[in-house]
Each structure stands twice: as C-alpha cells, then as structure tokens.
C-alpha cells in the first residue's frame, strides 16, 4: 500500500503544476468558457446527472488551486440540486488551501457549518458520506492545534483511500493531506529530490526558515547522490531565498558523504 501510494504521490507532484496545460490531451471540463482546459477528473456523484460534469470541473479546479472558482462552482451545484450533499464537501474544501495557508477561526466556524449541512442533508452513497466525514474531522475541533487537526484529517483520508483503492481522487486528496503535514511528508521519500523539497513550500509560507533550509539542502543532497543534478536548481532557488531571510549565506554548500552533513 505504501509503495503504491508513493508511486502515486510522485506522479501527482510531477504533474500537478502542469494540469492546466494538459487539457489538449484530454476532454476539457467546460463551464462558461467552452475553451477552458483543466485536464480531467473522475468523481462519480449521486446528485442530478446534469451536475456530474460541473462537479468534476469543481474537483479539477481544486487540483489546480483555483479555489475561488471552485467555491463558486460547488455553490452553483448546490443551488441547482439542493439534494446534492457532496457539493458542500467541495465548497468547504475550497476554503482550505492546504499548501498555502491555514484557515482562521472565522473560516473554521463557517466551513464546519457548511460540512455539517452536507452531513445533515445526507449523501446517497457511503463514499460521499465518507468524504464529508473525513473533512469534518479537520473542521470540527477548532480549539486543537493545526498539526493535530491536519494529522487527524490525513489519517481519515488514508482510511478512505484504503477503503476505495480504485478512487484516484481519494488517493490524490490523501496525498495532498500529506503535503499539508509537511514534516511527515518530508520523511516518506527522502531519496526523491523533489519530494524532499516539497515541504519547503509550506515552511516558506509559514516563515519556518531553518526548516525550509533543511528541506532544500536535503533535496539537493538527494539529487546529487542520485545523479539527478538537474532537479537541484529549484531547491537551490528556495534555499537562496531562505538564507536571505535569516541573513545567512546564499553560497552553495558542499555535501560531505562521510559526515552526512553540509559544510
């Protein structure tokens, strides 16, 4: 299971920034713009058949970090089909920018009410109910620390992924939850240069500069040890920026295999 998930995460991390450019390879998910290209999503729902394509557009927007448009898309679905409980999952997901920032107290309270509305409405399939329940785990305990809540959500998504192994969207959202738990994700595949670097995006957003430095040094080391030197350039860019934030040096450090340390 871990190996399969890691393989999927590698694919996700390599392709997620290219989703908008891949529309020419697949059917576009059209809404107002017939030329819109967002790639494809496969998320069957029990709502009105007329809302299936719109819902998959919303999921594709989530994957592409277009949270503002995703939120409106899911609201439109709920308005068109008031029985579509899973639409409230999508709306609440659009308010949690998992690798950008953390929702404030007001957002937590508001989105908990959105998720609970979907739960009370009652999804028609166990899978849809599981998605709503997993997201509720994150929002329902606002007094707990962010780390506690995001880890609880990630564990819920892991169970959902294991319950529906053929659901690629479950695997993708589980993978995203691991990125939100940056310290945990950084330990999963330390030999993969880009995987080692990815937590640096979160550390940079949160101003955790030493952890950002450590993540990118690890990424550069993994790249050099594997011979994939081309992968180190992105990490070096982040590394230089982090050094500047702490007033440190931006010179390139050298890796010592014997001491397993940077000098």
Full DSSP string of 102-160: ---HHHHHHHHHHHHHHHHH--SSHHHHHHHHHHHHHHS-TTS-HHHHHHHHHHHHHHH
Q: Tokens 């450090």 label which residue?
A: 253
User: Measuring CA to CA, which residue among 81, 180, 184, 79 is closest to residue 123?
Assistant: 81
Phi, psi of 48 (to 5 degrees): -55, 135
Give CA–CA dist 98/149, Å, rounded: 12
Burial 169-206 (b: 16+ CB within 10 A, else e): bbbbbbbbbbbbbbebbbeebeebbbbbbbbbbbbbee
Per-residue pLDDT tens digits of the chain, which is 263 residues long = 544 554 444 445 444 433 333 333 333 343 445 667 777 889 999 999 999 999 999 999 998 888 889 999 999 999 999 999 999 999 999 998 887 778 889 999 999 999 999 999 999 999 999 999 999 999 998 889 888 999 999 999 999 999 999 999 999 999 888 876 856 556 655 766 766 777 777 777 667 788 888 888 888 888 877 776 667 777 888 888 888 888 865 444 443 434 334 44
Written as six digits, the tokens of 31 are 């809404």
99-147 pLDDT, tens digit per residue, is: 777 888 999 999 999 999 999 999 999 999 999 999 999 999 888 988 8
Strand partners of residue 262: 255
What's the rounded Cα separation, in Å, for the pair 185 and 182? 5
How far apart are the C-alpha atoms of 223 and 235, rounded to whole Å?
Answer: 10
Eight-state DSSP code of residue 98: T
The packing angle between helices 86-93 and 67-80, to 10°, is 160
In whole angstroms, what is the distance from residue 210 CA to residue 217 CA? 10
| Domains in the chain, CATH or no CATH each | 2-180 (1.25.40), 187-262 (no CATH)
Instruction: Enter the pTM of the model.
Output: 0.64
Task: Collect all residues with Cβ–Cβ distance below 8 Å to 109 and sequence separation of at least 6.
Answer: 142
């Amino acid at each position: 299971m871990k190996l399969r998930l890691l393989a999927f995460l590698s694919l996700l991390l390599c392709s997620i920034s290219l989703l908008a450019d891949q529309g020419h390879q697949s059917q576009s998910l059209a809404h107002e713009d017939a030329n819109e290209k967002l790639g494809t999503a496969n998320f069957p729902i029990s709502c009105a058949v007329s809302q299936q394509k719109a819902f998959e557009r919303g999921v594709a927007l989530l994957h592409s970090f277009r949270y503002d448009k995703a939120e409106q898309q899911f609201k439109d679905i709920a308005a068109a089909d008031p029985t579509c409980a899973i639409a409230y999952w999508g709306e609440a997901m659009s308010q949690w920018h998992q690798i950008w920032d953390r929702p404030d107290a007001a957002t937590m309270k508001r989105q908990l009410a959105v998720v609970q509305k979907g739960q009370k409405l009652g999804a028609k399939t166990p899978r849809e109910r599981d998605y709503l329940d997993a997201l509720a785990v994150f929002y329902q305990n606002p007094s707990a620390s962010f780390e506690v809540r995001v880890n609880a959500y990630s564990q819920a998504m892991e169970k959902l992924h294991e319950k529906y192994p053929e659901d690629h969207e479950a695997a993708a959202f589980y993978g995203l939850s691991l990125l939100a738990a940056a310290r945990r994700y950084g330990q999963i595949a330390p030999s993969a240069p880009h995987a080692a670097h990815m937590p640096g995006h979160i550390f940079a957003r949160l101003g955790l500069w030493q952890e950002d430095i450590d993540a990118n040094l690890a990424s550069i080391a993994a790249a050099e040890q594997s011979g994939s030197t081309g992968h180190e350039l992105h990490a070096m860019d982040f590394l230089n920026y982090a050094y500047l934030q702490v007033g440190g040096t931006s010179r390139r450090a050298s890796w010592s295999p014997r001491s397993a340390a940077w000098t």
